[in-house]
Amino acid sequence: MTKIKIGIIGSGGMARHHLARFAPMETVEVVAIASRNEQTGHGLAAEHKVIFVPDWHSLVERENIDGVVICTHNDSHGEIVLAALQADKHVFVEYPLASDVAEGETALKLAEKRGRVLRVSHPEAVSNTHKALKEKISELGDLLLTSFVRLTPGRGSRPEILFNLPVSGTPAHFFIYHIYPIVDFFGGAASVKKSAVYEGLKENGQYDRFVNTLTVEFKRGGIGQWTWAGGIAINAAEEHERYVLTEGTISDAGGEWHCTTPAGVTPLIISDSPQPTLQELWLSEIRDAADQLPCLADAAVALEAIRISLASGE
Ligand SMILES: NC(=O)c1ccc[n+]([C@@H]2O[C@H](COP(=O)([O-])OP(=O)(O)OC[C@H]3O[C@@H](n4cnc5c(N)ncnc54)[C@H](OP(=O)(O)O)[C@@H]3O)[C@@H](O)[C@H]2O)c1
């Protein structure tokens, strides 16, 4: 079997993570790494015995590469996705798909026109919990309300990147992995209302603490609410998720999923069957794209998710 040749863009945490998964696969060959950070870029390339190129443009234009894996910060995803698709490369991009809705829309159109795979790194696509929730939601009637709350005490290991509006976008945007699964269940939003407060906000867009809320009305009916607060005075992170449907409510009380109906409370059964990894999924989609147009359902959900996260503004 001919190996699929790929290039990695970025040389930080996620580039290292994806490389560790691709490197042992016999069906793939990592050809080159591009990063603006020459030190970590050279280091990672040397570890994997591949070429280092400082400029990502020259990587996406290389003829001996079938696909690119984009692991840069949020502010450059859209531009690199478009350049890679224009160069006829298959794309695997870290979330979010883009930080501009028009770029995301163009990316989907380009992928469709050129028959390229466009996958955004949202792990729900291979998650047993997500599958179990989707199935249970389909049994419980119409959505009335879904609510998601996440409270985090710290500012993460790299607050200068994350708590930084021009680089990472609003909390709703960098927490898009809390929006994507809910859009996958209920589709896009007809309207979005947002509220955001930043403490210690500097002129360069960095800040110390935030509260960000979003309320959407889904096109198919029902309300969605997200609340994030970070850098706050709390001992440990808290997360709560609820799906209130006409025939029952699913919630994650105490880290375990339960379903409540008038008949009683039952645990949500989650299979432990092995699933492909996101990297394996992307490679199999590239192979399939030799004979058929790729399915862009995942990218379409990722696009609806950024429509919501970017409508949240600053
Ligand atoms: N799927 C997941 O579970 C997950 C988890 C965490 C993060 N993420 C996403 O993954 C992405 C990367 O996060 P990370 O934690 O790997 O960040 P990171 O450790 O800071 O690495 C980012 C890398 O990309 C380089 N870079 C940034 N902008 C660039 C540009 N415009 N052109 C060329 N190189 C560029 C950085 O160079 P410098 O060293 O010079 O900055 C660095 O090498 C983010 O979009 C984040 O949202 C996903």
**What confidence category does residue 133 fall into, taking pLDDT thresholds of 50, 70 and 90?**
very high
The pLDDT tens digits for 244-291 are 999 999 999 767 999 999 999 999 999 999 999 999 999 999 999 999
Q: Is the CB of 277 under 6 A from ligand 1?
A: no
The whole domain housing 40 covers 4-123+276-295
Tell me, yes or no, whether 35 lies in a domain: yes
- The answer on 154 and 69 residing in a single domain is no
CATH of the domain at 71: 3.40.50.720
Indicate the number of domains in the chain. Answer: 2
- Round to whole Å and give the CA distance between 173 and 99: 8
- The answer on 247 and 163 residing in a single domain is yes
- The answer on 113 and 203 residing in a single domain is no
- The answer on 43 and 60 residing in a single domain is yes
Q: How many CB atoms lie within 10 A of CB 100?
A: 15
Closest Cα to atom 5, ligand 1: which residue? 14
For the sheet containing 248-251, what is the strand order? 189-199, 209-218, 223-230, 143-152, 238-245, 248-251, 258-261, 264-267
- The answer on 263 and 132 residing in a single domain is yes
- Of the listed ranges 154-158, 211-215, 249-253, the least confidently predicted one is 154-158
- The answer on 260 and 149 residing in a single domain is yes
Query: 209 near 201, Cβ under 8 Å?
Result: no
The pLDDT tens digits for 183-206 are 999 999 999 999 999 999 999 999
- The answer on 240 and 133 residing in a single domain is yes
- 218-236 CB burial, b ≥16 within 10 A, e <16: beeebebebbbbbbeeeee
Q: 80 alpha carbon to ligand 1 midpoint, in Å?
A: 13
Note the pLDDT of residue 312.
59
- The answer on 230 and 192 residing in a single domain is yes
Report the pLDDT averaged over residues 76-103: 98
Tell me, yes or no, whether 26 lies in a domain: yes
Tokens of 166: 């021009």
Tell me, yes or no, whether 302 lies in a domain: no
Residue type for 209, please? R
Backbone angles phi, psi at 165, to 5 degrees: -60, -50
Tell me, yes or no, whether 305 lies in a domain: no
**What confidence category does residue 240 fall into, taking pLDDT thresholds of 50, 70 and 90?**
very high
Tokens 């910060």 locate to 73
DSSP 88: T
Tell me, yes or no, whether 22 lies in a domain: yes
Report the pLDDT averaged over residues 140-161: 94
Tell me, yes or no, whether 312 lies in a domain: no
Report the pLDDT averaged over residues 98-127: 97
Rg (CA), the chain: 20
CA dihedral 42, 46, 49, 52 (to 10 degrees): 10
Q: What residues contact residue 72 under an 8 Å CB cut-off, 6+ apart?
A: 9, 10, 35, 56, 80, 94
Helix (H, G, I), strand (E, B) or coil at 100: coil
Q: 172 alpha carbon to ligand 1 midpoint, in Å?
A: 18
Q: 297 alpha carbon to ligand 1 midpoint, in Å?
A: 25
Tell me, yes or no, whether 314 lies in a domain: no
Terminal-to-terminal C-alpha distance of the chain: 49
Tokens of 104: 């995301």
- Round to whole Å and give the CA distance between 227 and 151: 8
* 313, pLDDT greater than 90: no
**DSSP symbols for 141-162:** -SEEEEEEEEEESS--S-HHHH
Beta strands at 223-230 and 143-152: parallel, antiparallel or unpaired: parallel
- The answer on 135 and 256 residing in a single domain is yes
- The answer on 283 and 256 residing in a single domain is no
For a mutational test of ligand 1's pocket, the pick from 18, 53, 69, 72, i.e. the residue with the most ligand atoms closer than 8 A to its C-beta, is 72
Which burial class, exposed, middle or buried, applies to 85 when counting CB atoms under 10 A from its CB (0-12, 13-18, 19+)? buried
- The answer on 185 and 86 residing in a single domain is no
* 156, pLDDT greater than 90: no
Query: 306 near 108, Cβ under 8 Å?
Result: no
DSSP 3: P
CATH of the domain at 156: 3.30.360.10
Note the pLDDT of residue 255.
75
**What confidence category does residue 157 fall into, taking pLDDT thresholds of 50, 70 and 90?**
confident
- The answer on 223 and 116 residing in a single domain is no
* Last residue in a domain, options 247, 267, 287: 267
Tell me, yes or no, whether 172 lies in a domain: yes
Q: pTM of the full predicted structure?
A: 0.96
- Round to whole Å and give the CA distance between 217 and 232: 28
Q: 29 alpha carbon to ligand 1 midpoint, in Å?
A: 22
